[in-house]
Amino acid sequence: MALEIERRYLLLPLRVEYFLKMFGMNFEKYEIVQSYLLRDGKLGRIRKLNDKYFLTIKKGEGLVREEYEDEITEDIYKNILNSSDDVKTLYKTRYVVNIDSYDYEFDEFEDKLKGLVLLEVEFKNEKEALNFNLNNSLKNVIVKEVTDDRRFDNSNLAISQTLPYL
Could you say which of 18, 30, 36, 77 is catalytic? 36
Determine contact, residues 62/4, Cβ cutoff 8 Å.
no
In this structure, are residues 145 and 9 in contact, taking their beta carbons and an 8 Å threshold?
yes
* Contact in structure between 90 and 152 (CB atoms under 8 Å): no
Give the alpha-carbon dihedral of 50, 54, 57, 63, to 10 degrees: -40
Annotation marks residue 36 as catalytic: yes
CA 40 to chain centre: 24
- Name residues whose C-beta falls within 8 Å of residue 83's C-beta, 6 or more positions apart in sequence: 39
C-alpha 154/C-alpha 164 separation (Å) is 12
Active site positions, annotated: 36
